[in-house]
Structure 1
């Protein structure tokens, strides 16, 4: 083979490094790899498509949950499908409406995160479709004409040989730089294509072409993301979260609502409200204790009367559409116990009065019991009622009389977004490490029991978590390499010859093991890593 096409070929010399797994030089007898991959891809893709089209018309709660919401207003393009209009094919009825739906409607309907993900998936679909068209229209025909094929690498043929021509041209002869068949001469263009150097050159050219196309699509998708982000931000420009900043490392003399508000107003910004975070760990512990007692009490009741209740004398309607403490016979078991203690607790009854309310309930099951440490067993319902009342009283006392010290963290809401952006982007305090302002996250994204954490503790946690992630990622390399090596065909031949012989009996099975199974196993193994990293953000 002339030219530098030899670079792309691998030899059997042990001193020469082998090609990466899956490259053409490592395919041993897998002549069916292209057709096998095509069959697998089409079968999986087409099957998934038709299954989705079928299930979406059967499980609307799963695939179209928004249509069940009250006052839901879908995009106009989807009305025929949602209303099940006559003449609308519901099996394929989602395709055209989805293509007609604009990005702005998608952004308004599903939010920014989902819109960005859908945009990236669409970009990937278009990009790889373009790759497939270019490869199918140019590379595959040239490989076929040049002596190789889509099923196996081109054979190693010396110069001036006719063996690298396709099998359907056995009578072609090479001489004086041209190919001849009888009185017919191969045109120069085909002579150029048949040159093995052309194949190697095309591989290099298309490698750069595909890279340039990928960078172009990513660049264009990034600008579309910026536009979507700006459009989404304009919708929330007047919301409270968009006008709120998170202030950390507040000095002690500013740890007050009025003092902090006067400080920001002195900077020229109009403040709407200030909320200083306080040390409420005692209240949280009491609430956790009350919640645990309530859940245990619920489990005890379910164990006694069943769920749904089958005990006689139990009226489930007493919990439905009844005002609190409406009458002595319809008052619920824990009526009046879930108040926050702001008002008088004169209507709260003692445990004995409450237990008299359900004395008319009779069940075939024995009342559940609970053993206290190594002591005697007691009635579980009564035990957890006492625990609930005790914890509830503790919460009430803390809310009434507790004094909670302010922390170094505060949320400040301004009158307009302009003031919010200015306050979050400038250093306005004389010490740049104090009164640090950033745009506040959404309330649902705040881990409230970590808000008052000191900066020193934050740094310690960051250092520990970063170290643990580094150890985890480094320790993840050996098992990944082991899985990749064990699934290579050479390793299978060495460790399990009987399995290698079994695989060789079917060319398609051999192609699956050499091109699909290693990649699939590697993807499945790496998919376990996010589960290990899931707890890192909350721990930090």
Structure 2
């Protein structure tokens, strides 16, 4: 009997400890995050005016006339362009994808502001009044008074039901409004001179081309077999590029090396007193031959250009790939043909609008269907293993979030809590979100690499797949597993 009484007393003490520590832990977490945010903004405003090449690279290295709005060098000089730059200008300067991402952030801002306004104006006053009227002082704390934890009267809970419907309606209206604006942005982009004049906009991409049709003539035969209303102006089958990507990377590295040398030699608009040198060969700075760096990298760049040009001239002689491209006379023709063939697979191929060449993952585009199926099978297995393994940190986080409940079972934690309640409370409030942020940062990166391995042939498709899979993981792990 005495043991049972002792256990009950232990549970009561544990509950009291949790009620005492929870508000302090939450307050310490909020204070830390607020301090880190303010410090980040302060350091950013100090460093930005003196490091424009880092924080404002597009102002100096822009494409054509796409100069972004120039912020002033004052402490909050970036705020004015942020507030006053209109969306059509953003689409023109930074592109449609970036503008839609900013609109998504704006949508989230207004959505959560509206939800916070509803809950703070209605629910928190209801919860506080109920706790003051019906909950004993020993059974409540500053944090629980703001929540629905102790509400057990139906006429008071009705306020939460009404606000829940109001929040649902608010989210629907805000999402509908911004969805409509995104559709408008896409229509305007498709009619813009930049899109209409781009070559890829009137080009179709053909994938999964059978071996017997892997030629320019074979691609023409595919389009003739479906009797498209508009003829193609040119067709090209993809070719194995071999060492060409490596040569281009070698060429780009040579360009960067030469630019770095010239920047140092011509620093401040003045020619240096001594021409830069580079040591070729040797080991750990010993031995080798010292050469003029500008001449050396210039010759290296010229050799790379000749190699790339020679390789490109021989590209038609190389083995064909299972993909190709067909260009039309105008952008509307390409869209009409792509819509006609959306769910059709003439000769076993798939015909879609060609993505921007910069968006294509060329290594995946040439993979065979069997290779993609094998990679997808292995990729899904690895993805399931990674997600299953990642639930272990979530279990650890759930334990760390309740350190105070473990004090009755772990003597070290009990001693720590009694000796230094301030540090114990701080760690119990800060450690769980820190661990969660670490693993939340790593998992999308792993998912992206696996998605690329599984054969996604555009970076946009990889982004969509990562968002969908990470969302599914959060629903399964956070909502289903931990709720059950």
Would you call these one fold, judging by a TM-score over 0.5? yes
The verdict on how the C-alpha distance between 1:403 and 1:459 changes in structure 2, with shifts beyond 3 A counting, is same
Partner secondary structure for residue 441 of structure 1: coil
Counting matched residue pairs gives: 404
- Aligned to 1:67, which of 46, 59, 62? 59
The verdict on how the C-alpha distance between 1:145 and 1:286 changes in structure 2, with shifts beyond 3 A counting, is closer
The verdict on how the C-alpha distance between 1:288 and 1:40 changes in structure 2, with shifts beyond 3 A counting, is closer
Partner secondary structure for residue 304 of structure 1: coil
**Given the alignment of the two structures, is residue 318 of structure 1 paired with residue 292 of structure 2, yes or no?**
no
CA–CA distance in 2 between the matches of 1:513 and 1:341?
57
After superposition, residues 271-420 of structure 1 pair within 5 angstroms as 271-281=232-242, 302-304=280-282, 314-319=291-296, 332=299, 339-340=306-307, 403-420=317-334
**Given the alignment of the two structures, is residue 255 of structure 1 paired with residue 214 of structure 2, yes or no?**
yes
Partner secondary structure for residue 76 of structure 2: coil
Report deviation, 1:502: 3.6
Q: Is the 8 A contact 2:17 2:404 kept in 1?
A: no
- Aligned to 1:137, which of 97, 111, 121? 121
Partner secondary structure for residue 238 of structure 2: strand
Q: Deviations over 1:54-103 (max 9, x none)?
A: 2222222222212223665646xx45x44x6xxxxx21232233211111
Report deviation, 1:216: 3.0
Aligned to 1:441: 355
Residue range with higher mean Cα deviation, 462-471 or 503-512: 503-512
Q: Is the 8 A contact 1:305 1:311 kept in 2?
A: no
Aligned to 1:539: 453
**Given the alignment of the two structures, is residue 269 of structure 1 paired with residue 230 of structure 2, yes or no?**
yes
Q: Is the 8 A contact 1:147 1:164 kept in 2?
A: no
The verdict on how the C-alpha distance between 1:490 and 1:337 changes in structure 2, with shifts beyond 3 A counting, is closer
Q: Is the 8 A contact 2:244 2:308 kept in 1?
A: no
Partner secondary structure for residue 268 of structure 1: coil
Q: Which has the larger radius of gyration?
A: 1
Report deviation, 1:509: 5.5
Structure 1 unaligned spans of 5+: 1-13, 15-22, 85-89, 149-153, 168-193, 322-331, 344-394
Aligned to 1:523: 437
Partner secondary structure for residue 56 of structure 1: helix
Aligned to 1:106: 90
Aligned to 1:53: 45
Aligned to 2:186: 229
CA–CA distance in 2 between the matches of 1:479 and 1:125?
29
Report deviation, 1:51: 2.9
- Aligned to 2:110, which of 119, 126, 131? 126
CA–CA distance in 2 between the matches of 1:135 and 1:267?
57
Q: Deviations over 1:166-211 (max 9, x none)?
A: 99xxxxxxxxxxxxxxxxxxxxxxxxxx996554333333333333
The verdict on how the C-alpha distance between 1:433 and 1:477 changes in structure 2, with shifts beyond 3 A counting, is farther
Q: Is the 8 A contact 2:238 2:324 kept in 1?
A: yes
Q: Is the 8 A contact 1:249 1:436 kept in 2?
A: yes
Aligned to 2:131: 147
Q: Is the 8 A contact 2:204 2:326 kept in 1?
A: yes
Residue range with higher mean Cα deviation, 472-481 or 32-41: 32-41
Partner secondary structure for residue 274 of structure 1: strand
Q: Deviations over 1:266-286 (max 9, x none)?
A: 5332322211123454x5699
Residue range with higher mean Cα deviation, 503-512 or 132-141: 503-512
Q: Is the 8 A contact 1:247 1:411 kept in 2?
A: yes
Residue range with higher mean Cα deviation, 489-498 or 116-125: 489-498
Report deviation, 1:411: 0.9
Report deviation, 1:246: 1.3
Q: What RMSD in Å do the two structures reach over aligned CA positions?
A: 4.6
**Given the alignment of the two structures, is residue 454 of structure 1 paired with residue 368 of structure 2, yes or no?**
yes
Report deviation, 1:224: 2.5
Partner secondary structure for residue 115 of structure 2: helix
CA–CA distance in 2 between the matches of 1:334 and 1:520?
47
Aligned to 2:171: 214
Structure 2 unaligned spans of 5+: 1-6, 8-14, 143-150, 259-277, 455-484
Report deviation, 1:439: 1.7
CA–CA distance in 2 between the matches of 1:125 and 1:416?
40
CA–CA distance in 1 between the matches of 2:430 and 2:161?
25
CA–CA distance in 2 between the matches of 1:276 and 1:256?
5
The verdict on how the C-alpha distance between 1:105 and 1:47 changes in structure 2, with shifts beyond 3 A counting, is same
Report deviation, 1:504: 6.1
The verdict on how the C-alpha distance between 1:476 and 1:166 changes in structure 2, with shifts beyond 3 A counting, is closer
**Given the alignment of the two structures, is residue 240 of structure 1 paired with residue 199 of structure 2, yes or no?**
yes
Report deviation, 1:404: 3.0
Q: Is the 8 A contact 1:254 1:260 kept in 2?
A: yes
Aligned to 1:426: 340
CA–CA distance in 2 between the matches of 1:31 and 1:401?
68
CA–CA distance in 2 between the matches of 1:24 and 1:113?
52
Aligned to 1:385: none
